[in-house]
Amino acid sequence: MKKVFYLLSLSLFAMQTFAQTNEKDIIHLWPGSVPGETAPKKAAVPTKDTSRGVIRLTDVTDPVMQVFLPEKSKANGAAVVICPGGGYQILAINLEGYEVARWLNEQGYTAFVLQYRVPQKQEGALQDVQRAIRIVRSRAGEWNLQKEKLGVLGFSAGGSLSARASTLYNKKTYTPIDAGDSASARPDFALLIYPAYLDQGPNHTLTPELQVDGHTPPTFLFATADDPYANSALVMAGALREAKVHVELHMYAKGGHGYGLRPDNKAGLAWSLLASHWLERNVREK
């Protein structure tokens, strides 16, 4: 009964957050046409599936970021672009977006929840995350942010997208549209939580698209051994280690996949505590 009540409360909180967002808290990534997009621009569509108290968005044709600001007394000048997961089909917008943003806010980080293009628009998603990073960096003064303390945090497919952002930041995926596009798209750090699709090379090796080298940003990875996608974290960590990139990997025995920060799964508590310490050492203290 407690679990049902908790999930219902989360669902109501998320729907309220989704419905009551002020327009000033929303940043539309593409003021004109969306590169490569043929469908008309419109708000994302929540699916009918709300199991586990998760709001699932699909049909994203007008990519946006939702801004979550910490209390001024807690603000530390660092920011994180959050990429929710969902198999590149949907976005688990509350489970791996809003709830994570509030957790980051409590620690003083400004959070930007990204609605990147789905379903099955991987190239568009990369354009969206690159554009999002550039917008935050070019407008950092508006939120009292330090330009060199901007990272990405992704879950599952969002972890894949965050890894792509970390390794393909020099890839020109779209024609610049304004002065903001002169800013770097390279994240200063990355957190990949139960990432997927990073082991699509021969014999489950690193996905060839990912260009890991000495300039890839410091990376934190977390997965569990019973996660069917766990090999992604292993091969990514190995590639980062070989490139002599600062990397920290944690592999727990149980937890599965897609738990976010939910307290009914101990893996959610584990990664959040470990990631908090990692951020303290590698971002806040720098």
| pLDDT digits 0-9 by tens, 89-114 | 999 999 999 999 999 999 999 999 99
What is the pLDDT of the chain when averaged over all its residues?
Answer: 93
All domains in the chain, ordered by first residue? 2-284 (3.40.50.1820)
What is the model's pLDDT at position 9? 47
- Cβ neighbors of 151 (< 8 A, separation 6 or more) are 78, 79, 80, 81, 187, 188, 189, 190, 191, 217, 283
Q: H helices of the chain, where? A: 2-19, 99-106, 122-138, 157-167, 231-242, 266-279
Residue type, 213: D
222 neighbors 275 (Cβ within 8 angstroms): yes
CA 120 vs. chain centroid, Å, equals: 17
- Predicted pLDDT of residue 23: 58
HSE-CB at 144 with a 13 A cutoff on CA atoms is 11
Q: Strand pairing of 219-224 and 247-252?
A: parallel
Q: Are 251 and 282 in contact (CB under 8 A)?
A: no
pLDDT on residue 28: 98
Closest Cα to residue 120, out of 175, 54, 65, 39?
Answer: 39
| Contacts of 262 by beta carbon, 8 Å cutoff, 6+ apart | 10, 95, 268
**What pLDDT is stored for residue 284 in this prediction?**
77
The pLDDT averaged over each successive group of 10 residues in the chain (286 residues) is 45 48 81 95 97 97 98 97 98 98 98 98 98 98 97 98 98 97 98 98 98 98 98 98 98 98 96 98 84
Are 259 and 267 spatial neighbours (Cβ–Cβ below 8 Å)? yes
Dist CA 179 CA 35 (whole Å): 17
